[in-house]
A = this chain, B = another copy of it.
């Protein structure tokens, strides 16, 4: 498979002007090829999907929102097949480059969106995050990237995957731009940065590569120092993060299968082997497995509420490792994907906002620190990111947002 030179879809670039005079005037944005753009096929990273679905006649909500805000659409970006895949591979369109770690995977499934922002080809890019598809490429490409509170941002016009997990997020290179977009997406001015303390999940840090864990400690300590003090704690009982990941996996894969089953059974589409294998795994999940996983989810949500509803934020490594090299064999890919699932499942299960801060480097490659707040704390997380950047730790423009 030849890999593409950029994260944009091959062929003519679809561009649309933003509304004049909006708050995002001067910014360019790209949209993952799961978002409808009127008149342009939504291919979803899988040629058979594109071939068997009508060309959309309206923009997705998020695309329209950014256009209305004044940002200019500069293209659609490669996604992993029908949003499935966390490392960024696509066997049909190729794997977008990781400009922050040449020769390495960009992360996925919002691979092309992260790639074009990291390359400076767009200021902003829309992604989706069901199982980590914004957070992971943000970490591996060194970007700010938010998985919002589940249900905060409309998924209208999106090639959806798993209803209780699907969210719409975005990437930027700097915190100030991130804040400008957040104000438009959420439709309200951003609050002052504040938190009732910072919880550092030692069990999550222990699951990361030691170099990643070490690289993220200074940022976590700075975060604690600025926001009410750092408390080192364990998020779960021993082994529990892995258990949560397994149950999140059951729920998400069962939902994905339910979403895609009618199409698959009608069309028998072509997929990369591991994508089809994982869908087939979803088809084999039993109602009892789902029922158990839902009980686990309720328990984890209660636990999260106790920890975070009072205003604390939780920090943990977004990914346990920096960008892996291209060309790994499938068993290694599977093992890496399983490890990523452990750090992404807590927010996913609980519908919590999680923001990647591009504050670590290991061997020259980015690795991100995540902050997680209670439901609805999205803007506060964005404000915290900006404050950290402003205070010199992060990657910021020198102006605050207006």
Q: Chain A residues in contact with chain B, CB under 8 A?
A: 48, 89, 91-92, 264-266, 268-277, 279-281, 283, 329-331, 333
Contact = CB atoms under 8 A, between A and B. Distances in A.
Contact of A273 (B91, B270, B281): B270
26 contacts: A48-B91, A89-B268, A91-B268, A91-B269, A264-B273, A264-B330, A265-B329, A266-B329, A268-B273, A268-B274, A268-B330, A268-B333, A270-B270, A270-B271, A270-B272, A270-B273, A271-B271, A273-B276, A273-B279, A275-B276, A276-B276, A276-B277, A276-B280, A277-B277, A277-B279, A277-B280
Nearest to A89: B268
Given A264-B273, A277-B283, 4 more contacts: A266-B329, A268-B274, A270-B273, A277-B280
A96 B89 CA distance: 32
A276 B272 CA distance: 8
Contacts of A269: 91, 272-273
Main SS at interface, chain A: helix
A330 B273 contact: no
A272 B270 CA distance: 4
Nearest to A269: B273
Contacts of A276: 271, 273, 275-277, 280
A265 to B, nearest CB: 4
A94 to B, nearest CB: 13
Contacts of A271: 270-271, 273, 276
Contact of A270 (B92, B268, B330, B333): B92
Contacts of A333: 268
Contacts of A268: 89, 91, 272-274, 330, 333
Contacts of A279: 273, 277
B280 A330 contact: no
A279 B48 CA distance: 20
A270 B272 CA distance: 4
* Chain B CB within 10 Å, residue with most, of A89, A269, A273, A329: A273
A287 B214 CA distance: 43
Contacts of A277: 276-277, 279-280, 283
A91 B48 CA distance: 10
Nearest to A327: B266
A269 to B, nearest CB: 6
A281 B277 CA distance: 8
Contacts of A283: 277
A378 to B, nearest CB: 35
A131 B92 CA distance: 30
A109 B361 CA distance: 52
Contacts of A280: 273, 276-277, 280-281
* Chain B CB within 10 Å, residue with most, of A48, A275, A276, A330: A276
